[in-house]
């Protein structure tokens, strides 16, 4: 067969062309079966062709190579395709015909490639969403996209960085995208730290100028993610409201509508940020939308009530409160608390506030709690409306069985110091000291005398607070009570000369009389503040009050003298007072006495003073031994024992040190800790300071001495069978051995002195220290 030329590529014979033109194709392609290609198309056309003509046509088709024979049936099949313009094109083979049948216009391959690209982009987007929002956040986004209209833009969680040039701040956009990736992933997986919140706001603030140039490039989902991060109510996000105020402004500038909950939070953020008028105006504009929507009705009007209460718009706040009360929606009646607080602050509206409290109480019913009562009472007490606060307290305590509103006379069941005392204790316990003081003044105005113990509790709370105002109030009230006691005693003495007895009653300002606790509170405060002048005035008043002192009052006075630099009077004052009032010293009394010794009070003593102080120190130790019974329960304090031992060490009274140490171990059951043993070895009460200088060698040597001794004793105890071969020293055995080490260490120091009459000196010292027969005698040196 000759090859086909380009001119004959689309040639069709006239007979076929005439036949095709007579038919109107029903599709864009023409399908020719074997019966149609090899035979006449219709009976009418077949009759017009003679046998010669048909033969000629077959030869022509064969010459052109357009006649293909079927190997199986011997039938030739020709395939043609008609385009949109009516132009016919011959198809080479059956495969091309099948492809033409399945894809008439040849658009399948491009469309498949487009679909593959879209699928790849969707997969990448899904990975980004899961990285930023997590699987749960990604699922929420899929559901939201499924409900969107097809014409709406597709979501994007990252900003298109190419939309900004370098001069327009692309660097800030890139940093913001990085923040969205990292912070978004953390946000949906765990609680963000304060550093994360600050970083989120930092990068967004830096990118705001660049974003403002192309708000349209920021997708709604980016705004939504930023809102979720910056609006998170958490202690790590303290600047939440100020950030939301700015973010809401930017979202509105970008033309994105805020959701109802976002609008409410934006209004609240605007108000808290200081733009109160703007927030109130925005709230008024949404009355017909959010104010009527059942889903936002309660939150919208409660927000308005809080704002109107804070700006002092009583009329509008009252209308909003009534609107909420009359609404059929479910809400917590405690939203009325801001209105009650606002009304309680003004004497002109306090009645209205009390009436609203009654409506709140009725709405809550049995669900009202003690905390609710306390909070409402504090509103009236803070505004010095104690009368109404007392009404509410009585209702709380009596379960609303007693109503004092409008009563001319308060029943005795509540008008007594015991009932008021319960209220005062509760207020002091909750820290409402000003409210408690107002209650005390209210009691006095009603002729009810508060008990001294309750007022003392208020004085103590004031002093513990440490503020200047509270300390001043505490002193004023305490001295008023002291004066009340002194005046009462003075009048009682004058009445003793009368022929008939007269019953004395309280008069004056109505303060209760001071007792020992009142004086003790002031004495401790003056001692801690180092105000010795006031302490002397207090002690003079104490003597006039005819109250027998106790050891606590005595100790405060002695410590005050010591802190004022008058330690030389401490010993004599203590001796006089204990003998005059038959007081028994306690651990703190001995603490101040040992601290007041010249060897502990002065930097340096002369040799003559040292010789004088040794007998005094031994005599003080004898007093301590005589009072050993007061330490029987809890043992001697480690700090006191430390002062005792170091006092003898500083005086270089090694015999007194040995006897004192043995007495502390045997009589007072004292077990010295490691630090005291080390201090006595190196001869210092400041180990840290000693270790910084040349004394560090002494510390090292002392430590090695202890280790060597413990190692040797451990081996000896194992050899004697008292301890097993395996294991270290038990804690109790180690403490005992350390005590023995210090005892032997002091004995070796005495032996190093080389005294010929050591035994006589030990006996004499024991007599001076009150230890005759109480401790073992001197045993001489030993190997430590």
Euclidean distance between CA atoms 625 and 494, whole angstroms = 47
**SS3 state of residue 403:** coil
Euclidean distance between CA atoms 86 and 25, whole angstroms = 10
Residue 563 CB contacts under 8 Å (≥ 6 apart), including other chains: 527, 530, 532
* 110-125 residue pLDDT tens: 666 766 766 665 566 5
Of 79, 100, 85, give the one whose Cα is nearest residue 12: 79
Q: Where residue 26 falls among pLDDT bands split at 50, 70, 90?
A: very low
DSSP 458-502: HHHHHHHH--HHHHHHHHHHHHHHHHHHHHHHHHHHHHTTSSS--
Structure confidence at residue 325 (pLDDT): 92
Q: What is the pLDDT averaged over residues 702-723?
A: 88
Higher pLDDT, residue 181 or 594: 594
Beta bridge partners of 88: 82
* 514-537 residue pLDDT tens: 999 999 999 999 999 999 999 999
Phi and psi at residue 79, to the nearest 5° = -115, 135
**SS3 state of residue 611:** helix
Would you give the DSSP letter of residue 687?
Answer: H
Core vs surface per residue 296-309: b (16+ CB within 10 A) or e: bbbbbbbbbbbbbb
Q: What is the pLDDT averaged over residues 666-690?
A: 89
**Residue corresponding to tokens 């083979």:** 93
Structure confidence at residue 85 (pLDDT): 63
Are 326 and 363 in contact by the 8 Å Cβ rule? The answer is no
Element (H, E) at 741: helix 731-753
Percent with pLDDT over 70 in the chain: 76
Of 110-114, 117-121, 497-501, 674-678, the one with minimum mean pLDDT is 497-501
Residue 128 CB contacts under 8 Å (≥ 6 apart), including other chains: 157, 158, 181
Q: Where residue 44 falls among pLDDT bands split at 50, 70, 90?
A: very low
Phi and psi at residue 88, to the nearest 5° = -100, 145
Half-sphere exposure of 140 (CA within 13 A, CB side): 10
Higher pLDDT, residue 110 or 691: 691
Would you give the DSSP letter of residue 19?
Answer: H
Residue 679 CB contacts under 8 Å (≥ 6 apart), including other chains: 642, 646, 685, 687
- Mean pLDDT of all residues in the chain? 82
Are 73 and 34 in contact by the 8 Å Cβ rule? The answer is yes
Would you give the DSSP letter of residue 288?
Answer: T
Per-residue pLDDT for 640 more than 60? yes
For 258: left if phi > 0, alpha if psi spans -120 to 50, otherwise beta; the answer is beta
Length, in residues, of the chain: 784
Q: Where are the domains of the chain?
A: 14-106, 598-768
Is this model's pTM higher than 0.85 or not? no
Q: What is the pLDDT averaged over residues 27-46?
A: 41
- Which pair of tokens denotes residue 158? 């990252």
Euclidean distance between CA atoms 311 and 307, whole angstroms = 6
């Amino acid at each position: 067969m000759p090859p086909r030329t380009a001119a004959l590529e689309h040639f069709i014979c006239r007979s076929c062309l005439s036949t095709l033109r007579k038919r109107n194709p029903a599709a864009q392609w023409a399908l020719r079966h074997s019966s149609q290609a090899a035979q006449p198309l219709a009976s009418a056309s077949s009759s017009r062709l003679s046998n010669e003509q048909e033969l000629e046509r077959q030869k022509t088709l064969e010459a052109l190579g357009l006649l293909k024979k079927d190997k199986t049936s011997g039938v030739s099949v020709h395939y043609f395709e008609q385009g949109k313009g009516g132009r016919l094109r011959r198809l080479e083979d059956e495969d091309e015909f099948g492809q033409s049948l399945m894809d008439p216009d040849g658009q399948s391959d491009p469309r498949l490639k487009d679909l593959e690209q879209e699928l790849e982009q969707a997969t990448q987007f899904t990975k980004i969403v899961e990285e930023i929002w997590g699987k749960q956040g990604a699922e929420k986004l899929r559901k939201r996209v499924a409900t969107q209209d097809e014409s709406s833009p597709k979501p994007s969680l990252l900003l298109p960085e190419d939309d900004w040039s370098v001069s327009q701040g692309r660097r800030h956009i890139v940093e913001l995208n990085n923040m969205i990736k990292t912070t978004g992933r953390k946000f949906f997986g765990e609680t963000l730290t304060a550093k994360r919140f600050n970083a989120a706001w930092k990068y967004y603030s830096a990118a705001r100028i660049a974003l403002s140039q192309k708000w349209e490039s920021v997708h709604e989902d980016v705004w939504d993610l930023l809102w979720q991060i910056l609006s998170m109510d958490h202690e790590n996000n303290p600047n939440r409201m100020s950030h939301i105020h700015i973010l809401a402004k930017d979202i509105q500038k970008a033309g994105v509508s805020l959701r109802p909950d976002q609008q409410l939070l934006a209004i609240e953020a605007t108000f808290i940020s200081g733009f109160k008028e703007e927030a109130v105006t925005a709230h008024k504009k949404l009355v017909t939308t959010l104010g009527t929507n059942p889903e936002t009705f309660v939150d919208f009007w409660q927000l308005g009530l809080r704002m109107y209460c804070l700006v002092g718009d009583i009329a509008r706040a009252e209308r909003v409160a009534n609107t909420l009360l009359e609404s059929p929606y479910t809400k917590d009646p405690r939203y009325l608390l801001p209105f009650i607080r606002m009304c309680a602050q003004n004497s002109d509206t306090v009645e209205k506030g009390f009436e609203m409290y009654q409506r709140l109480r009725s709405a809550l019913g049995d669900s009202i709690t003690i905390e609710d009562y306390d909070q409402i009472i504090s509103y009236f007490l803070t505004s010095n409306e104690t009368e109404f606060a007392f009404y509410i307290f009585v209702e709380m305590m009596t379960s609303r069985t007693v109503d004092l509103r409008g009563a001319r006379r308060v029943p005795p069941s509540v008008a007594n110091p015991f009932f008021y005392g319960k209220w005062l204790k509760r207020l002091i316990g909750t820290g409402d000291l000003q409210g408690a003081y107002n209650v005390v003044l209210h009691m006095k105005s009603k002729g009810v005398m508060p008990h001294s113990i309750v007022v003392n509790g208020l004085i103590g709370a004031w002093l513990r607070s440490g503020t200047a105002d509270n300390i001043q109030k505490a002193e004023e009230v305490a001295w008023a009570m002291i004066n009340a006691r002194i005046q009462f005693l003075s009048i009682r003495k004058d009445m003793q000369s009368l022929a008939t007895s007269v019953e004395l009653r309280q008069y004056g300002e109505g303060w209760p009389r001071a007792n020992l606790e009142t004086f003790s509170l002031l004495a401790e405060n003056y001692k801690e503040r180092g105000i010795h002048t006031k302490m002397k005035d207090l002690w003079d008043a104490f003597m006039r009050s005819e109250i027998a002192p106790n050891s606590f009052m005595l100790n405060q006075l002695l410590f005050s003298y010591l802190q004022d630099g008058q330690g030389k009077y401490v010993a004599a004052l203590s001796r006089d007072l204990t003998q005059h009032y038959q007081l028994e010293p306690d651990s703190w009394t001995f603490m101040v006495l040992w601290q007041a010794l010249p060897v502990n009070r002065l930097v340096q003593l002369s040799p003559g003073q040292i010789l004088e102080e040794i007998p005094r120190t031994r005599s003080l130790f004898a007093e301590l031994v005589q009072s050993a019974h007061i330490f029987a329960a809890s043992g001697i304090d480690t700090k006191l024992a430390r002062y005792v031992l170091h006092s003898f060490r500083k005086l270089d009274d090694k015999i007194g040190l040995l006897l004192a140490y043995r007495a502390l171990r045997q009589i007072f059951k004292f077990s010295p800790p490691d630090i005291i043993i080390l201090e006595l070895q190196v001869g210092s009460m400041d180990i840290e300071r000693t270790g910084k200088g040349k004394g560090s060698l002494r510390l090292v040597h002392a430590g090695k001495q202890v280790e060597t001794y413990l190692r040797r004793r451990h081996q000896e105890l194992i050899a004697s069978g008292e301890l097993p071969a395996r294991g270290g020293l038990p804690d109790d055995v180690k403490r005992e051995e350390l005590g023995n080490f210090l005892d032997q260490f002091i004995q070796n120091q005495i032996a190093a002195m080389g005294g010929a009459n050591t035994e006589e000196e030990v006996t004499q010292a024991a007599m001076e220290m009150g230890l005759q027969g109480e401790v073992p005698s001197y045993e001489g040196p030993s190997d430590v």
